[in-house]
Amino acid sequence: MDFINSIVLLLNYIFVPALSYGSQLALGAIFVSLIYGILRFAYFTAGDLMSFGTMFTILFTWYFQSLGINLGVLPTALLAIPFGVIITILYVLAKDKLIFSYYRTKKSPPVMLAMVSIGTMFVTQAIVRIVIGPFDRRFFDGEKFILKANEFKEMTGLNEGLTIKSTQVITLLVTIIVVSILFWFLNKTKTGKSMRAYSDNEDLALLSGIDPKKVVMITWVIAAILATIGGTLYGLDKSFKPFTYFNNMLPIFAAAIVGGIGNPFGAFLGGYVIAFSEILITYAYKKFFIYILPESLEPDGLLQLLSTDYKFAVSFSILVIVLLFRPSGIFKGKII
Amino acid sequence: MKQYSDVISAYVIMLGLIILVGFLQSWSMALSILCFCLISAVMTMGANIQWGYAGLINFGIMGYTALGGLAAVLVSVPPVKEAWQAGGLQMVICALIIVFIIFIVRFILKKYKKSSNRNYIIAFAIIVGLIFLRLISGPAIHSIEAVNPATTGFLGGMGLPIIFSWVIGAFFAGGLAYVIGKIALGLRADYLAIATLLISEIVIAIIKHEDWLTRGVKNVIGLKRPVPYEIELQSTQWFINLVEKFNQGALNLVTGVLEKEQLLKQLVIDGSTVFVKLCYAGLFSIVVIILLIVTQKALYSPWGRMMRAIRDNDEAANAMGKNVVKQHLLIFVIGSAVVGIAGAMMVTYDGLFTPGSYRPMRYTFLIWVMVIVGGSGNNFGAILGGFAVWFLWIESAPASLYLINLLTSGLEETNALKIHLINSIPYFRLLVMGIALLLVMRYKPKGIIPEKIRHI
- Asked if the structure places residue B253 within a domain, the reply is yes
Residues B73 and B6 in one domain: yes
* Band of residue A335 on the pLDDT scale cut at 50, 70, 90: very low
What percent of chain B is modeled with pLDDT above 70? 98
Whether pLDDT at A108 is above 50: yes
| pLDDT at res. B245 | 83
Rounded mean pLDDT, A51-66: 94
Rounded alpha-carbon distances, angstroms, from residue B354 to B101, B171, B214: 31, 21, 10
Final residue of a structural domain among B155, B187, B215: B155
Question: Looking at residues B60-88, what average pLDDT do you find?
Answer: 89
Q: What is the pTM of this model?
A: 0.90
Q: Where are the alpha helices (DSSP H) in B147-210?
A: 165-184, 189-209
In a domain, B454, yes or no: no
Nearest to B223 by CA among B50, B352, B68: B352
Strand, helix or coil for residue B220: strand
Give yes or no: residues B73 and B90 share one domain. Answer: no
**CATH number for the domain whose boundaries are A2-325:** 1.10.3470
B187 interaction partners in chain A (CB closer than 8 Å): 323, 327, 336
Residues in chain B within 8 Å Cβ distance of A317:
202
Tell me what the mean pLDDT of segment B14-38 comes to: 91
Where residue A157 falls (left for φ over 0; alpha for ψ -120 to 50; beta otherwise) is left
Residue B456: per-residue pLDDT = 55
Confidence of residue A292 (pLDDT cuts 50, 70, 90): confident
Alpha carbon B232 to its chain's center: 29
Residues 6+ apart with CB under 8 A from A37: A199, A261, A262, A263, A264, A333, A334
Region A230-237: mean pLDDT is: 94
Return d(Cα B322, Cα B165) in angstroms, integer: 34
Q: B132: pLDDT confidence band, cut at 50, 70 and 90? A: confident
In chain B, what residues touch A37 (CB-CB under 8 Å)?
Answer: none
**Interface subset of B 300-359, CB within 8 angstroms of A:** none
User: Quick one: pLDDT at residue A175?
Assistant: 95
Residue B415 and residue B348 in one domain: yes
d(CA A249, CA A191): 28
pLDDT over 90 percentage in chain A:
46
pLDDT digits 0-9 by tens, B247-298: 787 777 877 788 888 888 888 888 888 999 999 999 999 999 999 999 999 8
- B299 and B351 share a domain? yes
> Does some domain include residue B452?
no
Is B175 found in the same domain as B123? no
Whether A313 has a pLDDT exceeding 90, the answer reads no
Q: ipTM greater than 0.85, yes or no? A: yes
Which residues span the domain enclosing B270?
2-79+156-443
| pLDDT, position A336 | 37
Long-range residue pairs from B319-326, CB within 8 A, at least 24 positions apart, any chain: B325/B185, B325/B186
Whether residue B212 sits in one domain with residue B125: no
Contact between A25 and A271 (Cβ < 8 Å): yes
Indicate the residue among B104, B137, B155 that finishes a domain. B155
Specify if B315 maps to a domain.
yes
The answer, for B434 touching chain A at a CB cutoff of 8 Å, is yes
**Inter-chain CB proximity A323 and B368 less than 8 Å:** no
- Other Cβ atoms closer than 10 A to B421: 20
- Residue at B99 is within a domain: yes
Distance CA A55, CA A60 (A): 9
**Higher model confidence: residue B99 or residue B151?**
B99
CB B326 within 8 A of CB B172: no
Q: Are B349 and B35 in contact (CB under 8 A)?
A: yes
Is the CB of residue B108 less than 8 Å from the CB of residue B122?
A: yes
What confidence tens digit (pLDDT) does each residue in B302-361 have? 998 898 888 888 889 889 888 999 999 999 999 999 999 999 999 999 988 999 899 988
Residue at B451 is within a domain: no
CA B364 to CA B58: how far, in whole Å?
9
Contact A110 B184 (CB under 8 A): no
Bridge partners of residue A147, in order along the sequence: A164
Q: How many domains does chain B have?
A: 2
- A77: amino acid identity, one letter: A
B200 with B335, same domain: the answer is: yes
Give the rounded percent of residues in chain B with a pLDDT score beyond 90: 34
List of chain A residues whose C-beta atoms are within 8 Å of the C-beta of residue B197: 250, 253
Number of Cβ atoms within 10 Å of the Cβ of B278? 16
Residues B89 and B238 in one domain: no
A145: helix, strand or coil? strand
pLDDT tens, position by position, B181-235 = 888 887 777 788 888 888 898 899 889 888 888 888 888 888 888 888 888 888 8
Domain ranges of chain A: 2-325
Bigger pLDDT: B333 vs B446:
B333
Nearest CB among B202, B433, B441 relative to A316 is that of: B202
Inside any domain, residue B456: no
pLDDT at A185 over 80: yes
Angle at B314 between CA B318 and CA B330, to 5 degrees: 85
Same domain, B266 and B336: yes
A99 touches chain B (CB under 8 A): yes
- Whether B107 is covered by a domain: the verdict is yes
Helices (H) then strands (E): counts for chain B? 22, 0
Final residue before a domain boundary, out of B126, B155, B184? B155
- In this prediction, residue A100 has a pLDDT band, given cuts at 50, 70 and 90, of very high
Interface membership of A40 toward B (CB under 8 Å)? no
Residues whose CB is less than 8 angstroms from the CB of residue B428 and which lie 6 or more positions away in sequence, other chains included: A126, A130, B396, B397, B400
Q: Of A151-155, A174-178, B40-44, B388-392, where does mean pLDDT reach its minimum?
A: A151-155
* Residue of A91, A101, A104, A118 to mutate, testing the B interface (most B Cβ within 10 Å of its Cβ): A118
From CA A76, how far away is CA A63, in angstroms rounded?
10
Q: Is B201 on the interface with A (CB under 8 A)?
A: yes
Q: Which of A325-334, B110-119, B153-162 has the lowest mean pLDDT?
A: A325-334
Compute the nearest-CA separation of A42 from chain B (Å): 6
Tell me if A316 and B206 make a contact (CB, 8 A cut-off): no
Same domain, B208 and B90: no
**Interface with chain B: mutation pick from A44, A122, A245, highest number of B CBs within 10 Å:** A122
CB pairs under 8 A between A and B: 119
Q: Which residue of chain B comes nearest to A315, CA vs CA? A: B198
Evaluate the CA torsion angle A135, B404, A88, B57 in order and state its sign. negative
